[in-house]
Structure 1
Amino acid sequence: MDDMLVAGPNKDRVQELNAQLAREFDMKDLGPANKIIGMQIYRDRKDRKIWLSQKNYLRKILRRFNMQDCKPISTPLPMNFKLSSSMSPSNITKRMKMSRVPYASAVESLMFAMICTRPDIAQAVGTVSRHMANPGIEHWNAVKRILRYIRGTSDAALCYGGSEFTVRGYVDSDFVGDLDKRKSTTGYVFTIVGAVSWISKLQIVVALSTTEAEYMAATHAFKEAIWIKRLIEELVHKQENIVLFCDSQSALHIARNPTFHSRTKHIGVQYHFVREVVEDGSVDMQKIHTKENLADVMTKPINTDKFIWCRSSYGLAET
C-alpha cells in the first residue's frame, strides 16, 4: 500500500485524475492532505500559508533514544567543533562497548528528518554520519547533542507562503574542514518563500585552495538550480533566471573570466560547466557578504545569532 499526493490547478482537474487512477487501481481518496511519510501538513488558506512539520516523528525519536527529558540547547554543534577517526575506539574492548550504542540507528533517524523538513541540522548530521563504521564516545556525544537541539526545536515547521515567487540560491564551502581526508564541504540552499532544496556533503576531490573549493561547490549548486528552474516551468509558469549568491569573489571571477588560468588549469573539466551556464544566462551568479549567506550553516558550526537568523530565513518556525 502506497500513499501519494495529487496536485492540480483546480479541483476539477484533481478529481478527473483521481477518477482515472481509480479505474486502474484499487484506490481510496482520503481528501485534503494532512499527512504524508511522517510529515504533518497544516494550512492557512486565508493567509495563503502552508507548514510541513515532523514534530510527532521527532518526539518519537527522542523517546526511542531516551532523550525526551534532556536539556535543550540552541545549536546542533558548537562553533569550531570537529570530529575525526582518531576519536574512534582503538581496541576490542572499546569497540565492543560502542557496539551496544545505537549510533547508526540514531543517525539514520535524524537523517530522515534532515532530508524532509530540517535543513538546520544538515551540517551536523552530515558530520556524524561520516563515522558510522567505527564510532567512538565523542561521536556519540555529538549525536546526543543534536538530539538535545531537537528537544528544544521539535515544534519547528517549514513554512511556505506569501505572494513573492522568486527562487534564490545560496552556496558556500568549508575549505578542508574534514580532518581525516582533508576534503572540503559543499553546502547550498534554495528558497522559494521557504527552503525547498538543501545539501551539506563532502566534495569528492581534495580542493587545493578556498577558491577551488568554492568553485566546485558552485558547480553542484548550479546543477540544482537548473533542475529547480525546469521543474517550476513544468509545473507552474516560465521562470525568470535564478540568482545564485556566493561569498567568494575569486570563484565569481573564474565563472565569468575564462582567461583566469593560473588557478584553474588543473580543475576538472566538469566543474567548468559553471562558465557555460553563466554565459547563457540560465543562472545569475552574484556576490553576497558572508554575513548574509544562508548556506554558511550548511558547511560548518556557526555562532548562535547567525544560526537562528539562517534558520528563520529558511522558513523554520514553531507552529
Structure 2
Amino acid sequence: CVFFQRFSDDDFNILLLYVDDMLIVGKNIGRIAHLKRDLSKSFAIKDLGPAKQILGIQNFYDRAVGSLMYVMVCTRPDLAHAVGVVSRFLSNPGKKHWKAVKWIFRYQRGTSKLGIAFGNRKPTLVGYTDSDLARNKDNMKST
C-alpha cells in the first residue's frame, strides 16, 4: 500500500507498506517523526533507522556510482575525481555520500551541453627531447 500525506506542494510524506515492512519518505524530518509517533500510538512498530534495504533489495547507491563510472570512462573525464571519491564508500554509503552522488548527477545534467571545440586548422605537432649522451661520462646514459 502507498499512503500519501500532502502538507503543501513541496512538503509531503509517503508511507510505503508491504506486509510487515514499512518505509516513510519525506523532506521534513519533523513531520516524519510526528507520523512515526502517531503510528506507534496505535501499532507496535520498531524503528530501524535509515533504510539500508527495502524488501530484501539493497539501495541503489552502487548502481548509481556504476552508471557515473560508465559515463566518466566513455565521455566525461571531468567527473573522474568526484566519482573516485564516492566510489570509496560503496560498501557502506551514508547520507552525505548519497548527497554527493546526486550532486554529481546534477552537475552532469547542467554541463551536458558543454564541450571542447577544435578548429579546422591543421594541428602543428611540436616535440622536445633531451638526448645528451656524452655529458654523463660515468655510465654514458642520457639525462
* Structure with the greater alpha carbon radius of gyration: 2
More helix by share: 1
Structure with the greater relative contact order (CA < 8 A, sep ≥ 6): 1 or 2?
A: 1
TM tier, smaller: 0.3 to 0.5
Give the structure-2-normalised TM-score.
0.46
